[in-house]
Amino acid sequence: MKLTLAQLNPIVGDIEGNLDKACRTVQEHGRESDLVVFPELFLVGYPPHDLLVRQRFVDRVDDAIARLCKFSLKFPETGILIGAPVTSETNGKRRLHNAALLIADGDIVGRVYKSLLPSYDVFDEPRYFDPAPDINPVTFKGETLGISVCEDYWNEPELWPDGAYGIDPIGILARRGATLFINISGSPFYLGKDEIRYRLLVNHIKKHHIPFVFVNQVGGNDELIFDGRSLCLDGKGHIIAALPSFEESIITINTSASGTGEMIDHPDEEAEIESALHLGIRDYLRKTGFSKAVIGISGGIDSAIVLCLASHALGPENVLGIAMPSQYSSDASLADARQLADNLGVELRVIPIAPIYDAYLKSFRDHLQTNELDVSLENVQARIRGNILMAFSNKFGYLVLSTGNKSELATGYCTLYGDMAGGLAVISDLPKTTVYKLARYMNRKQTVIPEHIITRPPSAELRPDQTDQDTLPPYDILDEILHYYVEEGYSLRDIIQRGFDSEVAKWVVHTVDRNEYKRRQAPPGLKITSKAFGIGRRMPIAAKH
């Protein structure tokens, strides 16, 4: 079978635009193909969240499906396999399904509903969908297609040793005569996930000796980044086609071909992070109607990384950096900020905040009953900077990109309405140690980030001679503890048993828990690790545990 893998980037909720993109793809590639395959829920984009509870929205999907069926009459030799939410009626009750629809010659010739509905991490599909009442292959063009939707191929003992799901949709399809597996997915990226997907696909092939086609969405939708990396594997698990990561791609292949090799080489972790964040920034702005970004540039490594990422993702002409030195900022910080902006070709404006800060002090120092530079006055400086950035956003339509990293967000080493102000938290899922690695990677060919920014001790510069390690444990220790607690879900006891100092471990764990209220008010952050703060980690605020 000649099959076209359409690894495309839909916009959530844009039914009309996504339908048009599907039709144009079939128009350009349909005549050379028996079947054009689109990703999961492509007509509405993934994930659509509570748009699915709006009946008018679902009705518009039904209308789009009817129009796609009519469009298919122009290509009587070509099928269209596309993901969409569809309704069914059982015992007088209307139910919604996450469906793969096979459309050909003006009609829906196959309906496959998703069986396994994930409810972990960023997923909440049982909130919207009912599972498939039955699992059957679909006959088309001489093949018996074992069609599945995303999670349906994830029921593997190595992932769920305790048995998360009671059925194995891929095994059922194989037993019922499937000759070709096709999985349409909206599988979001995190580091290492592509290796897991590949291993799962190969495991299914080893069990059933049936070729497998995997078509994944690409693009950024809110916090989530979809990496694509669609695959076609032969009956031995060898690769017939591997589509690129983090970009749209369309290819037509013959599923009866023999593959030529094993899994392609895995890129460096830093290269993946950089590509993912470029896509996440670019799509977040494009899909929310922004074209330019503004960033507070301190002369530190976090803001340097964000400025580099934004300038590459959006073009330096679409990024504005603002340095806001205080009386506690070093001359070196401003010099580094200027050099960084020059290296990137980004405009940098300098707005000293000392006069504004002095005016604040004059207005309320007596009311705060303090003559010392305590945390309240440190945070005033951060909030002045947040106000300046938001003023530029309001006046000129820039999106503010905040620059805090995961280590800071985890421990609350950040200021509400100050450095946390913004529309998108670009590196909020990057631990500080990863930020340093990424900086070195960005400088691999030439020095973009001044060396002094990377080598000097990190500091918020909100008081004289301040460094991060005045408050936080060394970042290598902090980040390892955070990995076990936040991403792996280890208990405090488990962490201490791994050899960490008990007092340091207690401080980290308790500080993470205590600062949940800050994270709830943070801007959306791009997900890079297996467990990011945000929609995938829903912890109570007013709680004791």
- The whole-number pLDDT of residue 263 equals 64
329-351: average pLDDT: 95
Strand order in the sheet with 107-113: 107-113, 93-104, 79-90, 35-37, 2-7, 249-254
Q: Tell me: pLDDT of 299 over 70.
A: yes
- Tell me the sheet residues that pair with 188: 226
The pLDDT value recorded for residue 464 is 78
Share of the chain above pLDDT 70, in %: 98
Give the pLDDT confidence of 431-483 residue by residue, as tens digits: 999 999 999 999 999 999 999 999 988 777 777 777 777 789 999 999 999 99
* Token reading at 230: 């669609």
C-alpha to C-alpha distance for 211 and 204, rounded to whole angstroms:
9
- Looking at residue 351, its pLDDT comes to 97
What percentage of the chain has pLDDT greater than the value 90? Answer: 86
Residue 133, classified by CB atoms within 10 Å of its CB into exposed (0-12), middle (13-18) or buried (19+), is exposed
What tokens does 153 get?
A: 């191929």
294 vs 393: CA distance, rounded Å: 7
Q: What mean pLDDT, rounded, does the chain reach?
A: 94
Mean pLDDT, residues 133-148? 97
CA max distance for the chain: 84
Q: How confident is the model at residue 264 (pLDDT cuts 50, 70, 90)?
A: low
User: Does 281 score more than 80 pLDDT?
Assistant: yes
The secondary structure element, H or E, covering residue 148 is: strand 143-149
What 3 state SS string does 90-136 have? ECCEEEEEEEEEEEECCEEEEEEECCCCCCCCCCCHHHCCCCCCCCC
Q: What does pTM read for this prediction? A: 0.95
Q: Delimit the domains of the chain by residue range.
A: 2-266, 276-468+515-520, 473-514
- Which residue, among 313, 271, 512, has the nearest Cα to 406 in the 3D structure? 512
Q: With 90 as the cut, is the pLDDT of residue 163 above it?
A: no
**Architecture in CATH for domain 2-266:** 4-Layer Sandwich (3.60)
Tell me: pLDDT of 527 over 80.
Answer: yes
Determine the average pLDDT of the residues in 224-241.
96
What is the per-residue pLDDT across 77-127, written as a single tens digit (0 to 9) for each?
999 999 999 998 877 788 999 999 999 999 999 999 999 999 999 999 999
Residue 178, H or E segment: none
**pLDDT at residue number 161:** 64
Kindly give the pairing relationship between strand 35-37 and strand 180-185. unpaired
Catalytic residues: 40, 114, 150
- What residues contact 242, with CB distance under 8 A and at least 6 apart? 229, 230, 231, 232, 264
Alpha-carbon distance of 208 to 137, in angstroms, equals 15
| pLDDT level of residue 367 (50, 70, 90 thresholds) | confident
Coil, strand or helix: which one is 185? Answer: strand
Residue 157: is its pLDDT beyond 80? no
Compute the distance between CA of residue 66 and CA of residue 30 in angstroms, rounded to an integer: 19
As a CATH number, domain 276-468+515-520 is 3.40.50.620
- What is residue 265's predicted lDDT score, i.e. its pLDDT? 67
- C-alpha 487/C-alpha 134 separation (Å) is 35
pLDDT of residue 106: 96
Any long-range contacts for 383-387 (C-beta under 8 Å, 24+ apart)?
383/415, 383/417, 383/418, 384/324, 384/353, 384/356, 384/357, 384/360, 385/296, 385/324, 385/353, 385/418, 385/419, 386/296, 386/415, 386/417, 386/418, 386/419, 386/420, 386/421, 387/421
- Mean pLDDT score, 480-498: 96
pLDDT number for residue 434: 98
